[in-house]
């Protein structure tokens, strides 16, 4: 299947798989200074921050588990938006600590053609939050 035929839902499944497999995540995001990615403990603004933040995350974490429980995707022409309830777990290799909790994901994708690449769905915004009662402060 070519990237232009890929659905936004399939692209989200690819992102989840890349996270589980420790693959680079920044290529899933549009290279734009206006992009914003909210993580559980940070806000990354602009592609340079998103790329640096995701590189640091990949370098300091391992053994990811990502379980989608209620993925909802709406696709319209060149845009798509999604929401999901995701159980996720990982090991922080710097603190030697494992995290495991429920989270909420939402965001927007746009069908784009990056420099000299095939058309694909890219995140133009993402928000990940922990379900209340999740303790990440320790």
Strands 120-130 and 97-112: what pairing? antiparallel
pLDDT of residue 106: 98
- Please give the average per-residue pLDDT across 75-84, as a whole number: 97
pLDDT of residue 3: 46
CATH among 3.10.450.50, 3.20.20.70, 3.30.870.10, 3.90.180.10 for 3-103: 3.10.450.50
Q: Report the 10 Å Cβ neighbour count for 105.
A: 20
pLDDT of residue 135: 60
Sign of CA dihedral 93, 134, 41, 137: negative
Lowest mean pLDDT among 17-26, 46-55, 73-82, 108-117: 108-117
Above 90 in pLDDT, residue 132? Answer: no
- Please give the average per-residue pLDDT across 102-113, as a whole number: 95
What is the chain's mean pLDDT, rounded?
92
The domain locations on the chain are 3-103
Above 60 in pLDDT, residue 28? Answer: yes
CA 45 to chain CA centroid, nearest Å: 14
């Amino acid at each position: 299947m070519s990237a232009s035929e890929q659905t936004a839902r399939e692209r989200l499944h690819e992102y989840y798989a890349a996270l589980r497999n420790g693959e680079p995540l920044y290529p899933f995001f549009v290279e734009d200074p206006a992009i914003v990615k909210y993580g559980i403990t940070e806000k990354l603004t602009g592609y340079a921050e998103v790329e640096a933040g995701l590189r640091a995350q990949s370098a300091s974490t391992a053994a990811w588990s990502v379980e989608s429980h209620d993925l909802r995707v709406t696709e319209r022409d060149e845009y798509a938006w999604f929401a999901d309830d995701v159980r996720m777990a990982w090991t922080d290799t710097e603190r030697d600590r494992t995290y495991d909790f429920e989270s909420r994901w939402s965001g927007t994708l746009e069908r784009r053609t990056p420099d000299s690449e095939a058309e694909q769905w890219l995140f133009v915004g993402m928000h990940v939050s922990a379900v209340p009662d999740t303790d990440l402060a320790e």
